[in-house]
Structures are given as C-alpha cells and as structure tokens.
Amino acid sequence: MVAPQTDVSQLWVHGHTGRLQQTHLWQVEVIGYYLRLKAEGPNESWLHYAPPTIVSPGTRLSAVHVEMLTFGGARIDKLHVWAGARQIAAKDDLGLSSDTGTAIHLGEDGEDLRRFEIALDEPAPVTSGIALSFLITAKERLDALALAAVGISLSTAADDGAVATGPA
C-alpha cells in the first residue's frame, strides 16, 4: 500500500500588515521592513494577522511562523488561531522574545531577527480563512517588538477522506 502524498505550503505576510487591537499606550510605526510597536508603559494588546489561506479538501494547519526582534521586556505571550469565527488552536504559554528563537542575519549592518516556528499540538482542519492573534506584552516604557513576517504551514493530504466545507 502506498501512503498518500502530502503537499506542504508556507504562506507568509509582511510584518507591517498587522493590526493592533488596542492602541492605547502603544506607538505603532509602519516601517518598510517591519511593524514596530513601542510601549508607553506596562501594557498588553492583541496583534492580528490574516495570512493568505488555501482551502481545499484535507487542508490542515500545522504551524505558525514569526520573524521578529524584541527590545527590553517585550514579548509575545499567547497565540490564538482562528478559522473564520471559530478558534481552532491556542498556545497560552509562549514567552517569545529575542532571547529565544533561531537567529536570521539580515546583512552586514542589520540586526539579527529571530525566527520562531510554533507547532500546533494537533494539525487543525482549515475550512475558511485563517486569522492569527498574538498577545503582546511590555513590562515598561520603551519596551518594543519589531515584526518582519508572519506565516503559516498548511498541508494537504492527497486522500485523507476529509471534506472542506464553506459557503455554497
């Protein structure tokens, strides 16, 4: 018996496409190479992204990717993943900062970004557009995050019997 073939795709959006849910006590700077969020004091807010989503029978979301820098005590603490209005995954204990992750060198004069792959506990079926919600926190004034890119990993099994549903 031959195992069904699985196609894996990564779909990304640029960091500056993010939308901050609550902008009070945050400076939001859209820069050509990233979105920088600078705290005016201890604070937290949700930051939302909507990467392009391919929906076909058997599509599963297996991981979320982030390329970023943090300054001071800023970090990403939580990730909630949505398929339309339905929450399909949550990671509530992340604590992502520049002190962790894999370094990606930007060039001679650039700082090193950090790349994170956040694997879901179970691959989640994708039946509509995906939204990613990150809870960002800052401990004090001038803590900052700079997000360069956000992506998702989707896999589609050639014959897993799953059927995607959506608008008729």
pLDDT in tens, 122-159: 999 998 999 999 999 999 999 999 999 999 999 887 54
Q: What percent of the chain has pLDDT above 90? A: 66
pLDDT for residue 98? 84
pLDDT for residue 111? 61
Residue for token pair 């001071």: 72
Which carries the bigger pLDDT value, residue 62 or residue 4? 62
DSSP state of 154: E
Q: Which DSSP string corresponds to 106-136? A: --SSSPPEEEEEEEEEEEEE--S-EEEEEEE
Q: pLDDT by residue (tens digit) across 96-124? A: 998 766 656 555 555 678 889 999 999 99
pLDDT for residue 163? 40
pTM score, whole prediction: 0.84
Q: pLDDT by residue (tens digit) across 26-63? A: 999 998 889 999 999 999 999 999 999 988 888 999 99
pLDDT for residue 168? 37
Residues ≥6 apart with Cβ < 8 Å to 2: none
pLDDT for residue 113? 81
Segment 63-88 shows an average pLDDT of 94
The model's confidence at residue 7, banded by pLDDT at 50, 70 and 90, is confident
Question: Which domains can be identified in the chain, with CATH numbers?
Answer: 7-137+147-157 (2.60.120.260)
- For the chain, give the mean pLDDT: 85
Q: How far apart are CA 148 and CA 31, in angstroms?
A: 10
Six-digit token string for 55: 């929906």
